[in-house]
Structure 1
Amino acid sequence: MTKKIIFLLSMLIISCSLQAQGKAEKAIEIFSEKYPQEKIHLILNKNSYVAGENLWFKSFVFDGYNLSSISTSLFVELYDSNKTQISKKILPLLNGQGSGNFTLPGNLKEGMYYIRAYTAWMSNFSEDFQALRQIAVYNPSSPGKLVLDETSKWTASVFPEGGTFINGINTKFAVRLYSKGITPSDWNGYVVDTENPDVKLATFKGFDQNVGTFSLTPKTGVKYQVVLSDSKGNRQVVDLPNVADSGINLQVSTGNDAVKFSLKSKNITSGTLYKVIGTINNQLVFKINSEKILEKNYSIPPEQLVNGILQLTVFDDKENIVAQRLIFMQPELLKIKKPEIQLSNLDKSPRAPNVFSIAQNENNNAYTVLIIDGSLESSEDDFSLLSTLWLTGDITSKIYKPSQYFTSNHNPEALDALLISEKWKRFDWQTIMSGTFPIISYKPQPYITYKGKVTIQGKPAPDTELNLLFEIPEYGTKLSQIKTDDKGFFNLKGLIFEDILKLSYQLNDAKIPKEQVQVIFQPDYSFIPLKKVLPESNYTLIKRQTGDQLSESVKRYIATKLSQNNIDEKATLIEEVKLKAKKKDKTKELNEELSSPLFKSMNETVFDFVNDNNSAEGYINILQWLQGRVAGLLLETNMGNYIPKLRGNTVNIYLNEMKVDPSLVNSIPVSSIAMVKVIKDYFAGSFGGANGAIAIYTRRGGMTTANNSEALTKLKQYVLHGFDKEAPFVNPDYNDENFKNISQDLRTTLYWNPYLVPKQNEPLKIQFFNNDDAKNFKLIIMGFDTKDYFPIYYNEIVK
């Protein structure tokens, strides 16, 4: 559950009628309890891609300001700019975190693509709150090429603080810029009376590419305008709202010590009851209810509040909203835990090894670590974990580089102006006060869930016991017994597996023939189609001309792809060699365990059925399987039995090193065989014979099969589809001789590990190797402290 943000009762309600609870309070209590809000942050292994590359991502799913325990599955989809789905994934969420990858098709056209991430629970609410990230994908063979859109016009809107503009009350305004492309970084403005446009009543300069601010004391009957211009001479004129003769203006100031606010009024009837409600993360944290609320100053101490957006709403005695405002709590005291990093001297030499460590934090279960060439940008430079957690996870409008509001040198005044221009959209007061709440159509299921139905001769089988035998790699066969309900249905909940899971089934009642039994499995989850229109991009696609030269950045992207491909290929070869060696070692151990010295030979071939099923499950007689796999082995039949011959000579058969008649082999189930050894020529156990032997060894206690599906062939089988498997990201190890013959290394991502789990009571050591030309490194480390509910965050260039 989300951490509850609680004020002392004496601070929570200041009222002449403490027991009074209006519609607003009741509504927010229901909404907070029954409709928690999840939000998702995505970090990518790099900023831009080339067709044919792998795109890796890590997700953090929050319930408010804490890692979410609501959802255990994450849906991630990849779209092109026409909203055509390219790929989709379902991933497990462990402690609110998950990771995966998309393999971008090699023929993908150059353009902007969109990654959508959501949970089933989030689909009950507005799609605007789902994660939707844009990425650029380059392809030099594509007919179109991406260029930054620097020609689109920009527009602006003005927003009075609290939403009101009243005669004689000095009012703060936020000016917000919008554009399909890039908004100007250098812009300014001034305010005029339309009747006297040559006199500037107020002047200001934009804080950034999003917002600026000014203050003005208006007069009734005067029409005001703000005139804006950028460094390129572009100009916009925006009307201010009409000046009201009466009303209430909410004025707020933030600081490290408190949030201070007051209500200024004009021509308001005395004795009217007003109340102010403060909410954070849809939870009531502050309330004042009094007839003497106007013209007073109030202070909200923030000691017991977390960083985040506070919504202040002023209601009249009929619970109409008369003013409202968003404020960020303690913008200059961001509660961030930096990981304790021990950096030794980093070596920027080509392909040099570098090692650093992260101190133990018992309240963080895993770190995400990304290291890139320090001269390049990361996905965190525009949309950071902090900006998602505290801003864009709740604010859905387009914000240029929201990460800037939470860096070490951020401008709190700019963030405050940005929030003046925004409204809280997680809920609408009037809607929930009328008793209208979201319709819950999608409930979160525990991990992978399947629904099943059992029928016998086409009719439902109520209250029937069903045996399910799961084939689990490395663990063998596991039996589970379930019982159907009164309509023949059952559920398989909480399955955590990747790719596919094979199972077989049969009724517990052996009297019912299996041919009469049918079991239907259906996944109890689904990808939910995207309804909204994709947002516009800062890039535009133009026709590629013959002879067009690639930009230096695109050349680097292509070189990066080639470098990573070479490293991946080398790593695959190394892994194959290791697997073969590992398999060989295990087979050697099995041979040592089962064979006596008398049955050892320099001319033997060993078939291992413990560590490799060798595709023998479909055979009734192991001798049939051997034919064609052993050079020179032929089978003759004699009275229904197979007689093995090598080079024309009959071969003796030994079962656990005891000579047996060939007829006995028919009674040995393949599933019970651990190893078969074919020995050619002389061996000691033949006691003088030189024709060789086929030695069959059966399983002993504790041996499990690599794939025991032979035992299940008599049962009906089914394949369940689970979570999508993540492709491994290869971090090259230049200490390994096999990597040293790679000709060029121009990787931009030097290290990527989305889920690095520390060992107990040990610092976490990380080794990475430089590429051929990086002069410094950008180090990004993320996590979450589950005790203090603080993000763990580090994003700096280290030299």
Structure 2
Amino acid sequence: MISSPFTRGRAGFLLTSLLAVVLVFAGFRAVPQADGFIQQLVRQLGRFYAATFPEKSYLHLDKTTYAAGETVWLKAYVVQAGNHRPDTLSRVLYVDLLSPDQVLVRQQLLRLRNGTANGDILLPDTLVQGRYTVRAYTNWMRNTSPDYFYDQQITVWHTPLDAVAPAIGERRGRVANKPAAARLTVQFFPEGGNLVTGLESTIGFKAVDANGRGVDVAGTIKDSRGRDVVAFKSQHAGMGRFQLKPEPGQTYQATVRQSGGAFLTMPLPTALPTGFTMKVMELKDQIQVYIQRQGGTGTAAAEAITLVAHVRGQVAYAGQGQVGTGTTFSARIPKNRFSTGVAHFTLFDSQNQARCERLAFVGATTPDLRIALQPNKARYAPREKVTLRVAVTDAEGQPVAGQFSLAVNNAQLVPASMEQRTIRSYLLLTSELRGTVEDPGYYFANPTYNTNLALDNLMLTQGWRRFVWKELLANRFGNYPYPLEQSLSVSGQVMNGQLLGSKETPAANATVLLLRFGTENQLMTTTTDSLGRFFFGGFAEQDTSRLLVRVQPQKGLRNPIVRLDQKVAEGAKNLPVLPLKAGSAEEVAYLQSSKRQQVMERQYSPDGKRILLQNVDVRGRREISDGRRLYSRADAVIRTADVPAANSFINVLQLIQGRIAGVQVTGSPPDMSVTIRGASSIMGSNSPLFILDGVQTDASIVNSLPVQDVESVEVLKGPSAAIYGSRGGAGVIAIFTKRGNPNYDPSTDPYAAAPLGMATYALPRYYPTREFYQPPYQQAGAQLPPNDTRSATLFWVPQIVTDANGEATVTFYTSDIGGEYRLSLEGITNNGLPGTGYGTLVVTGK
């Protein structure tokens, strides 16, 4: 469950005690108790996180460089966004592989257990070379923005398995990297939100090229009189800052110079004549906040203000005071009141309107986990057993339990990068910011004055928040059409179709039926909500199932349209384009190593013997057994294809009227009834048993079934109906739809478009995760490869669980490839602390 803002674990405190830390200078008053507005702010933050239950996903990949035909090994972590505990409500995770053009290549559905799942993506050996994106999200995360999806760019080199030619750049399938355009974009961000005349502000800036990558720049600021006011220079990844105090009547523009000598001129944001500014500074043990106000002519009176600071919805400070023109409100907040991460500071004016907002990273109070990876030896021979001890403790040295994953990579083929993303940098930093953060590990690998300054520049330029205060205070948390999934599900919306002079409208309180075909036919029913939305859950599929979703006719529902939710999220991020070093020595070495390993795995790994086909034109068609019938022969059969103008009938009962001896159909659509002569009644009813694609249904469904979707109608009488027991005493009418036939080919059906009020869906299955291959050296008599060429990824284990002592043991075998191997372990503790550990081992090659 989400913890209350009033009881924040180690830093729990009462709301009234928050106000005691407000220090007000220049004679302004401190507020001794929380007023109604502060109580409302804190209450609404808690409500937002409890009602919307935001989630984060993260993927630990075995590496980020691959060759076509290899496997991407991954471990998924899904946590609550508020406290990072891996016990979210979602139980289904979507993992997509997107092409360099952001087209879906693969999608997998993983079953989450305790917030984690194992997975792998087999890269087709026909993939075009380039930068691909692996992204992960839950159905619930789709209610907000793709900015909240986890995404990671990976490099995929392309080479045929039968040869690695010296002329790498000329191989089939190669896509040459075009030189980046020289276009430069520079944005300026006043601290707190606005420039105000007469008040000095810090202005952050960020310069990026046409590919979205940071560019080092320098420049000057000129006022409208042409005078140089200030010079500036970027510090890291195209970001930097400078100070500016706008003068009355002046406007400002920046002249930016790139390292190559090109110039770009652009205006700065216009300064407002009145307003507030906010400055946030990090001291050793405190966060200092300064607030100033420019009231304009005749408005020197002080104005009441409210300042709130929180980290992921957990309130660290809430205070009130007053500030007037020419004076400063200041608050010092101890760092130990903040959880580690991105803190949001928001200033409200006397009308309770948000006027300034600033992000700052606070991380001094929660040190990293201490993760030790201790191999039993420093050096190993080929094919020797490695016993690795994993020990995890907190900052105080106390053991902690958690879930972790481990990759062992060849340090030469997969070089280490201290700037790369880790689970810690992602959960605490990247996931809280808008856009892409370049080299997020840079801010954590070696904390210095420069890295801390660069991190604060990032806070100035890439601000982000999960809500808008105005909407939050009005109790409007946004629309959430995508439901939480604790199992595979089907959801969508029913709309009243357009009539003459009208628009589509949601069909509230409509009855929706779901028919599931397969080894266990099933009929489910639900009712739409006020927005016409419906949801079916509880599927635990190991194989793909065919489903038919249908709206039951009712008064006031005309021309119903069923729109099923697509399971592929739209709106992928525009990630920076990273250039590939085509034809480099590193590429040649990696491709040669990959070729050897793929050949070995396809010969000796059970999973490797599977062949992945892509873009195969299948000319033949295998007939699949139709298991919808319990009986072998019907007394009468009508096939719609044999009835002239069959599709002109309103429903299927009108179709069979007068066509089958002994079957009497009376009434008019949509209220027709059927009796079968000579059949005995059931509990006083002469109505026969209706079977739709092997599932029992009722007359109302049959009355609304369009003929266009019916393949055949079969009638059973007397002894023939005995297979259905007493239910078939009044006879059986079995209806078979075209879509229910596993051999149905819509390309040959002129009426293949789904009729009104109906939709079909192939429910996918959970992905059956494969196991990383290593030769079975521990098995006597096992078939072993003559050359063990595992190298780029020597070993991958996705499921390491530390015990009460914070320990776990992992064993694996070295290969025949010598060199230094890097151990990389990532994971999260049960109480939501992310961590990463590293180690090395050396293998003496043959």
Q: How has the CA–CA distance of structure 1 residues 28 and 409 changed in structure 2, closer, same or farther, with 3 Å as cutoff?
A: closer
Aligned length: 610
| Cα offsets for 1:45-64 (capped at 9, x unmatched) | 22122222222222211212
Q: Does 1:131 align with 2:131?
A: no
- Could you say which residue in structure 1 is the equivalent of 2:346? 313
- Could you say which residue in structure 1 is the equivalent of 2:458? 418
Q: Does 1:568 align with 2:607?
A: no
Q: Which amino acid aligns with 1:565?
A: Q
Q: CA RMSD in A?
A: 4.3
- Give identity over the alignment, percent: 21
Q: Does 1:371 align with 2:399?
A: no
Question: What residue ranges of structure 2 are gaps of 5+ in the alignment?
Answer: 20-29, 160-170, 394-398, 492-510, 512-516, 528-533, 547-562, 610-724, 726-733, 735-739, 743-761
Q: How has the CA–CA distance of structure 1 residues 450 and 539 changed in structure 2, closer, same or farther, with 3 Å as cutoff?
A: closer
1:27-46 correspondence to structure 2 within 5 Å: 27-46=44-63
Measured after TM superposition, the shift of residue 16 of structure 1 is 5.8
- Could you say which residue in structure 2 is the equivalent of 1:235? 263
Measured after TM superposition, the shift of residue 725 of structure 1 is 0.5
Counterparts of 1:255 and 1:149, CA distance in 2? 44
Counterparts of 1:415 and 1:385, CA distance in 2? 17
Q: Which amino acid aligns with 1:531?
A: E
Q: Does 1:341 align with 2:358?
A: no
Counterparts of 1:334 and 1:796, CA distance in 2? 23
Counterparts of 2:330 and 2:380, CA distance in 1? 57
Measured after TM superposition, the shift of residue 92 of structure 1 is 1.0
Q: How has the CA–CA distance of structure 1 residues 163 and 740 changed in structure 2, closer, same or farther, with 3 Å as cutoff?
A: same
Aligned with 1:21: secondary structure?
helix
Counterparts of 2:368 and 2:294, CA distance in 1? 42
1:149–1:538 contact (8 Å) kept in structure 2: no
Counterparts of 1:493 and 1:564, CA distance in 2? 42
- Could you say which residue in structure 1 is the equivalent of 2:125? 106
| Cα offsets for 1:343-385 (capped at 9, x unmatched) | 4542276666543211377743432111212232469853221
Q: Does 1:9 align with 2:15?
A: yes
2:239–2:457 contact (8 Å) kept in structure 1: yes
Q: Which amino acid aligns with 1:305?
A: F
1:344–1:356 contact (8 Å) kept in structure 2: yes
Counterparts of 2:233 and 2:816, CA distance in 1? 44
Q: Does 1:291 align with 2:322?
A: yes
1:583-598 correspondence to structure 2 within 5 Å: none
- Could you say which residue in structure 1 is the equivalent of 2:165? none
- Could you say which residue in structure 2 is the equivalent of 1:249? 277
2:16–2:32 contact (8 Å) kept in structure 1: no
- Could you say which residue in structure 2 is the equivalent of 1:220? 248
- Could you say which residue in structure 1 is the equivalent of 2:77? 60
- Could you say which residue in structure 2 is the equivalent of 1:389? 427
1:176-195 correspondence to structure 2 within 5 Å: 176-181=206-211, 183=213, 186-193=216-223, 195=225
Q: Does 1:531 align with 2:570?
A: yes
Q: Which amino acid aligns with 2:574?
A: P
Aligned with 1:446: secondary structure?
coil
2:276–2:294 contact (8 Å) kept in structure 1: yes
Counterparts of 1:255 and 1:104, CA distance in 2? 49
Aligned with 1:359: secondary structure?
strand
1:381-780 correspondence to structure 2 within 5 Å: 381-409=419-447, 411-448=451-488, 498-499=542-543, 527-532=566-571, 534-539=573-578, 550-569=583-602, 571-572=604-605, 722-732=765-775, 741-743=785-787, 745=789, 747-758=791-802, 763-770=807-814, 775-780=819-824
Q: Does 1:170 align with 2:200?
A: yes
- Could you say which residue in structure 2 is the equivalent of 1:790? 833
Counterparts of 1:47 and 1:12, CA distance in 2? 45
Measured after TM superposition, the shift of residue 409 of structure 1 is 3.5
2:593–2:792 contact (8 Å) kept in structure 1: yes
Counterparts of 1:304 and 1:298, CA distance in 2? 14
State which of 99, 118, 125 in structure 2 corresponds to 1:80.
99
| Cα offsets for 1:523-577 (capped at 9, x unmatched) | x9965333325515424699xxxxxx8332332332232233234235436999x
1:146–1:539 contact (8 Å) kept in structure 2: no
Counterparts of 1:87 and 1:172, CA distance in 2? 45
Q: How has the CA–CA distance of structure 1 residues 256 and 334 changed in structure 2, closer, same or farther, with 3 Å as cutoff?
A: farther
Measured after TM superposition, the shift of residue 176 of structure 1 is 1.0
Aligned with 1:566: secondary structure?
helix
Aligned with 2:211: secondary structure?
coil
| Cα offsets for 1:234-260 (capped at 9, x unmatched) | 433343223344322101111341211
| Cα offsets for 1:672-708 (capped at 9, x unmatched) | xxxxxxxxxxxxxxxxxxxxxxxxxxxxxxxxxxxxx
| Cα offsets for 1:691-745 (capped at 9, x unmatched) | xxxxxxxxxxxxxxxxxxxxxxx9x999986411012211346677868654472
1:170–1:218 contact (8 Å) kept in structure 2: yes
- Could you say which residue in structure 1 is the equivalent of 2:301? 270
Q: Which amino acid aligns with 1:243?
A: A
2:193–2:357 contact (8 Å) kept in structure 1: yes
Q: Does 1:119 align with 2:162?
A: no
- Could you say which residue in structure 2 is the equivalent of 1:603? none
Q: Which structure is larger by alpha-carbon Rg, 1 or 2?
A: 1
1:570–1:738 contact (8 Å) kept in structure 2: no
Q: How has the CA–CA distance of structure 1 residues 121 and 484 changed in structure 2, closer, same or farther, with 3 Å as cutoff?
A: closer
Counterparts of 1:292 and 1:171, CA distance in 2? 17
1:564–1:747 contact (8 Å) kept in structure 2: yes
Q: How has the CA–CA distance of structure 1 residues 741 and 232 changed in structure 2, closer, same or farther, with 3 Å as cutoff?
A: same
Counterparts of 2:140 and 2:596, CA distance in 1? 40
Q: TM-score, normalised by structure 2?
A: 0.64
Counterparts of 1:379 and 1:499, CA distance in 2? 40
Q: Which amino acid aligns with 1:342?
A: Q
| Cα offsets for 1:312-364 (capped at 9, x unmatched) | 1111122222211111113x555321223324542276666543211377743
Q: Which amino acid aligns with 1:792?
A: G
2:401–2:806 contact (8 Å) kept in structure 1: no
Q: Does 1:301 align with 2:317?
A: no
Aligned with 1:569: secondary structure?
helix
1:356–1:765 contact (8 Å) kept in structure 2: yes
Aligned with 2:37: secondary structure?
coil
